[in-house]
Amino acid sequence: MVIKTEGLSFTFGKQQVVKSLALQVPEGSIYGFLGPNGAGKTTTIKLLLNLLKPDAGNIHIFEQDIKTSRISILSQIGSLIEQPALYQHLTGRENLLNRALLLQVPAQRVEDMLDLVQLTAAANKKAGQYSLGMKQRLGIALALLANPKLLILDEPTNGLDPNGIIEIRELLKKLVAQHGKTVFISSHLLGEIERMATHVGIINNGAMLFQGSVADLQAISKPLVRVDAENTVDAANLLTRHHINVTEVTDEHLLVPYISKQQMGEINALLNKNGQMVYSISKQQKDLEKLFLDITQRA
Ligand SMILES: Nc1ncnc2c1ncn2[C@@H]1O[C@H](COP(=O)(O)OP(=O)(O)OP(=O)(O)O)[C@@H](O)[C@H]1O
């Protein structure tokens, strides 16, 4: 495990915001650390980066204890917490060169990182004029300068438009596949994470609700078929008569547990054949909130 914590706990005043967390982040994974606002993600990340001291518990990173090997561990981690700290009046390249000097990293590495995050063309533009997505990518380039083995990113896609999100996603996938990194990334949106993550940890109120591979998560967060139809009640009755389990009916749509593409086709054909007007039929993944309910009800 690249990150392993046991009984990790932290309290702000009287509020326990991290509750006995046992994180397990495998090497070479993209670990999505999920939870709604205020769940304790940033606090956990600060504990991992030794910016806060835990009340209780252990943190092992690269199989070393953070209490005894702080410097060696931190020198192999690149991190980005919330907004990257950029010099707005300097260009993207100058921001990187500055940090390279500080870290005693060769200047060529700056060019390589600009290339990696696709900022070469904008390298001479002032960072203050960058879009939010470009700023985040510059932040990731800064975090990567010292060639860390582990990248810890706190909500790097927050506030980005869909294109910006895709760019970050592709970049992180490349870092893992081609550069052998491990990425720990927090988010409050499951949809953003599940397309890149190999593993997920879901926390709420400081406690871990689920941890495992994305395949494990998908197995318990069963998708649904959503049918938007002219007359949802009649459509639901028809499906029920054909032994299809309808789990929800509203004026606009009905829901059926998803089994396969074929099953979706069969539902569509059945409704059409019986004169039911279908506006749309789609596979739906549950949102985080529903997933939380599933997971907590299962526990
Ligand atoms: N400096 C602080 N002093 C007191 N309470 C704090 C402090 N920082 C965070 N908290 C509280 O700790 C809890 C967890 O906050 P944290 O920022 O870790 O959550 P988060 O999951 O990262 O949420 P967000 O996505 O909103 O950043 C919240 O209830 C928050 O109000």
The pLDDT tens digits for 214-231 are 888 877 777 889 999 999
- CA of 43 from ligand 1 middle (Å) equals 6
- Ligand 1: atom nearest CA of 82 is 27
Can you read off the two tokens belonging to residue 204? 């709420």
- Number of the ligand 1 atom closest to the C-alpha atom of 40: 18
Q: What residue owns the CA closest to ligand 1's atom 12? A: 17
Question: What angle separates helix 232-241 from helix 261-273, to the nearest 10 degrees?
Answer: 110
All domains of the chain, ordered by start, with CATH?
A: 3-213 (3.40.50.300), 221-298 (3.30.70.120)
Instruction: Give yes or no for a contact between 197 and 182, defined as CB atoms under 8 angstroms apart.
Output: no
DSSP secondary structure letters along 75-100? TTEEEEESS----TTSBHHHHHHHHH
Report if pTM > 0.90.
no
Parallel, antiparallel or unpaired: strands 253-257 and 77-81: unpaired
Over residues 84-93, the pLDDT tens digits come to 889 999 999 9
Give distance in angstroms: CA of 17 to centre of ligand 1.
7
Interface confidence, given as ipTM, is 0.94
What number does the ligand 1 atom closest to the CA of 42 have?
Answer: 22
Q: What is the mean pLDDT of the chain?
A: 91
Centroid of ligand 1 to alpha carbon of 50 (angstroms): 16
